[in-house]
Amino acid sequence: MSKKSLTFAGIIVTSMLSLGTAHAAGECAVGKTIEEGVLTVATGNPAYFPWVIDNAPEAGKGFEAAVAYAVAAQMGFEADQVTWTTSSFDQAIQPGQKNFDFNLQQFSITEDREKVVDFSVPYYTSALAVIVRQQAIDAGALPTLESLKGLVWGADANTTATPIIQSLIAPSSDPLLYDDTVDVIEAMNANQIDATLLDLPVALYQAAAVMDDGVVLGQFPADESNSPDHFGLLMEKGNPIKTCVDAALTALSESGQLAEIEAEWLQQATDVPMIE
């Protein structure tokens, strides 16, 4: 807990420094957006629950859709001055002009990625959860590292879950990798893998609403895992709008608005055991 608040304090201090150059919310972004007076936000297609509800980010429903509108409002953009576009992960990191001011689709901030693109300060820090089917639990799977090592793992190849599984769990057989979460879950249903690592809100949703017999076996607390999963808004490298976005996010987290959005859209898990 103390570790978490320390990191958070660090983030706030760094953003305070950048705040120094940022002016009042409305003026900051002038001349910095790709289209004047309009904030263009990108997300995935499809965008998934609970990040965006019904793949319609313009409705402002879902955690990331709500964060985008809150950031926009903080930066001085009315809701009707926000336009949405879609991008894949690859489009987000390709060299050349971007077609968005910022892009949010649960991008984990990593040092390697920061060499190529810019990230905002984190808008969410996710705990990672292990999801399995009931049959694995019947076979004796427990929320302990020892037990997790013996499972067959699968993961979305485009996420940071792969190295985290390798470093945190180090399973005895090599993980199988898939294109997206849908395929990972399908492989679990096809009895090809036992377990996968998902962001906790996604894991809760998959277990409750998508899978017939999915169970969230346990979670790695966000502040204790070796690679905490901080989500950042992705921007083109060197985009001057970063200072405005960072200032807006910092203000939102200080005012408690970000926590409110989180409480509204992301299911709070009280009964998922911690893994040891």
Partner 1 sequence: MAEDAALPLKMSRAAYNAQKKRRSLIVASTSMLTVLALIYYFVPRAPGWERVKDSFFNWDVFIGTFPKLLDAFLIDVMIFAWCAPAIAIWGLVIALCRDARSPALFPLRVFATVYNDVFRGVPVILVIYLIGFGIPGLGLSRTWSNPYIWGSLALILSYSAYVAEVYRAGIESIHESQRSAAKSLGLSHWHTMSHVILPQAFRRVIPANMNNFISLQKDVALVSFIGPVELLRQAGVEKSLLANFTPYVGAALIFLSVTIPATRLADHLIAKQNRERG
- Please give the residue ranges that form the binding site for partner 1 (CB under 8 A): 89-90, 93-96, 110, 112-113, 115-117, 152, 154, 157-160, 162-163, 174-179, 183, 186-187, 189-193
Q: What is the DSSP letter of 52?
A: S
Token duo for residue 104: 């949010």
Minimum distance from residue 236 beta carbon to partner 1 (Å): 10
Nearer to partner 1, 94 or 255 (CB): 94
Minimum distance from residue 56 beta carbon to partner 1 (Å): 26
For residue 234, the cross-strand partners are: 103, 119
Asked whether the bond before 46 is cis by omega within 30 degrees of 0, the reply is: yes
In angstroms, the CA 253 to CA 261 distance is 10
The residue assigned the tokens 């302990």 is 144
CB-based contact 207:214 (threshold 8 Å): yes
Q: At 140, which amino acid appears?
A: G
Minimum distance from residue 226 beta carbon to partner 1 (Å): 15
Nearer to partner 1, 196 or 250 (CB): 196
Alpha carbon of residue 85 to chain centroid: 18
Q: Would the CA dihedral through 255, 256, 257, 258 be positive or negative?
A: positive
Minimum distance from residue 234 beta carbon to partner 1 (Å): 9
Minimum distance from residue 115 beta carbon to partner 1 (Å): 7
Task: Phi first, then psi: give them for residue 94, nearest 5 degrees.
Answer: -70, 150
Nearer to partner 1, 81 or 227 (CB): 227
Nearer to partner 1, 175 or 218 (CB): 175
Nearer to partner 1, 71 or 185 (CB): 185
